């Protein structure tokens, strides 16, 4: 026996499916511009032979882009976006492998300067 009646409006079915999808907890993500900037930096570092792998984690409270020298190691850098800190120190931060926060700020571009050597020399 089907739970959906034949007389049901298809738009109501879509609305029910949409509300069920929205019931999942919200996750913090990088937007398209942020990912573009991070992946441009990642591409340059891979071309220089310094970085080899990356991972992206979208958690409830923050988004993390981890950079690896080799796939089997711990990340050498973590680029984090934590919206809870947006009004305080800034929601973007670069964290080293030892857990030291190298730079934190409100603008991703300025925070990435700590590991982007070509732009930092200008």
Token pair of 39, please? Answer: 């992946």
Residue 38 within a domain: yes
Asked whether residue 101 is assigned to any structural domain, the reply reads yes
Q: Is 4 part of any domain? A: no
Inside any domain, residue 93: yes
What is the reported pLDDT for 27? 83
Task: Report yes or no on 75 lying in a domain.
Answer: yes
Give the per-residue pLDDT at 2.
Answer: 47
Give the contacts of 94 (CB within 8 A, at least 6 positions apart).
77, 78, 79, 80, 101, 102, 103, 104, 111, 112, 114, 115
Residue numbers of the domain that contains 81: 32-115
CB 91, CB 78: distance < 8 Å: no
Read off the pTM.
0.72
Exposure string for 33-46, b = 16+ CB within 10 A, e = fewer? ebeebbeebbeebe
Quote the number of domains for the chain: 1
Q: Provide the pLDDT for residue 23.
A: 46
32: three-class secondary structure by DSSP: helix
- Within-domain flag for 88: yes
Spatial separation of the C-alpha atoms in residues 62 and 86, rounded to whole Å: 12
In this predicted structure, what is the pLDDT of residue 17?
59
In a domain, residue 80? The reply is yes
Taking the chain (122 residues) in runs of 10, the rounded mean pLDDT of each run is 54 59 68 92 88 89 89 85 87 91 91 75 50
What pLDDT, on a 0 to 100 scale, did the predictor assign at position 25? 63
In a domain, 3, yes or no: no
Q: Quick one: what percent of the chain has pLDDT higher than 70?
A: 73
pLDDT score recorded for residue 83: 87
């Amino acid at each position: 026996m089907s739970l959906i009646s034949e007389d049901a409006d298809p738009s109501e079915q879509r609305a029910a499916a949409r509300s069920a999808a929205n019931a999942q907890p919200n996750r913090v993500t990088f937007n398209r511009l942020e990912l573009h900037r991070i992946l441009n930096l990642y591409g340059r570092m891979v071309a220089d032979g310094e970085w080899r792998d990356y991972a992206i984690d979208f958690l409830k409270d923050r988004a993390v882009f981890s950079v690896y020298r080799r796939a089997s190691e711990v990340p050498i850098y973590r680029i984090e976006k934590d919206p809870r800190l947006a009004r305080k120190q800034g929601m973007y931060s670069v964290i080293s492998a030892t857990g030291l926060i190298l730079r934190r700020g409100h603008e991703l571009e300025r925070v990435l300067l700590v590991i982007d050597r070509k732009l930092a020399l200008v």
